[in-house]
Structure 1
Amino acid sequence: MNIIRIGGVPEHFNLPWHLALEEDLFFKAGVSVVWVEFPEGTGAMNKALRAKEIDLAVILTGGVIKDIANGNPSKILQLYVSSPLLWGVHVPHHSPFTTIDELQYAKAAISRYGSGSHVMAHVQAKQRGWDTSKLEFEVVNTLENAVEALTEKKADYFMWEHFTTKPIVDAGIFRRLGDFPTPWSCFVIAGTDDAIKTKSKEIQTVLQVINTVSRDFKKIPSIDRTLAHRYEQQLEDIQKWLSGTTWSQEQITTEEINRIQSKLTELQMIDNEIDANEIYVNLH
């Protein structure tokens, strides 16, 4: 039985994968799936895809399109979450900054270059008319390290998913200046060209299983309470997050790929836009 190694962040978006694994749904369908956690986020998963350390990744849409356009030998297989990601813009609780506009010349903590936090810092800056060439960054790898970096004044602000960081805000460690939603879909499932070539049948099975689970995910009895308990969130926060989150079983569109590439080109984060057919592939 071929093994499929899947990378993802340890966040509430990925509970459908864990439920499928805990219920042995992949194994019963004839595929051995190994889940690999990446608390460092998209940049680390892109690196792992390039190194063939994982076969698939549940990964931020903008981040993986950027890396594929810059030479990552991988393809998007389908959307996973089609709603935007809500990025909270955080500063230390006792920071003198009170508005996002005051951060124009401040240093941003990012998980790593090429990560979602790196890309979104550029997108936010461009939208506000800042000079993106003047942005400064402190690489922190993980959320835990971001807390340390901001507390010790190694960086001034940190952009991360609103609800993942909410407990840190509630604890009085971070203060949120505002939110910044991605101007595109949240997560896709991507795979290496090598895995797509050699494990196509198994990958199709994996997609069929996760799509069945994600399609009915919100209908699971007391799923809000399960999420709140497992991810140490307030129930009302999880309910708000669930109401604004849409899991998808569809392919990403050429139009969305081209729109994201256009934005990344404008931000000088990719050198050349490539044909959308080089970024996604249909296995269904």
Structure 2
Amino acid sequence: MKFQASILRILKSPSLAVFRPISRPTLQLRACPSCGQSWLPRRRYAHTPADDPSYESIVDNPPLLVKQNQKHGPGLILLVAIPAIAFGLGTWQIFRLKWKTELIARFEDRILRPPLPLPPRVDPDAIKDFDYRRVDATGVFRHDQEMLIGPRVHDGKDGFLVVTPLQREDGCTILVNRGWIPKKLKRQADRKAGLPMGPVTVEGLLREPWKKNMFTPNNKPELGEFYFPDVEQMAKFIGSDPIWVEETMQPDLIKAYDREAAGIPIGRPAAVNLRNNHTQYIFTW
């Protein structure tokens, strides 16, 4: 008995009020004071959703689809097409990378070979198989038919590329890109040291004709204005063969400064200058 009394006191303690069971309120009939009719008061709170008279389950009121039997819009088609196009471009750049790597390796192999004497007659259609091949040719420069291509920038300075026809002993004439000169020495009278007379031997790279892009203006040969090395046009203008040779020189900073001051064209180094950014393009796509 004492044990039971102790348990009752503990249960009645205020600190254990949270453990007391919640008693549900009992509903009692109420009588209308005027007519005496009994009625049951509305319960204000429901212990479960089913106890609420206004509750509707998903079975009683199933959801309706907003769109039915409608075609996909252009936005969804575009979202699906973007990754497909990017994947295709990335795959294409993989093939481009392989092609450019093999092309550079082939050109570098040609440059490492000793210079080849340029034949008296060169078939323009065969130049593609000898692109970047080192050659040498002997003849006389025709300075009276000199053409300047520009503007061209070299080490941050404006200037021009000097293209001079080389008349060979057999009568064949080729175009020689001798190199870059500063803009202030555009006139031949200001660079007499860069106008060799008599027979000369030129060593350079036999190059395939250049391709013009859409942003370069058209040449005006009748005005002496050349913006792009159009080999076919320039050869036809002066009556030479459409053979383009780029004169080369050993990279030497001191020698380049001396040539610039004297008006002697600065030739290009014997190296392949093709850009190969296809690896970057692959990761970009």
The TM-score bracket by the shorter chain reads: under 0.3
Q: Which has the larger radius of gyration?
A: 2
TM-score (normalizing by structure 1): 0.21
Structure with greater contact order relative to length (CA < 8 Å, sep ≥ 6): 1
Which has the larger share of helix? 1
| TM-score of the pair, normalised by structure 2 | 0.21
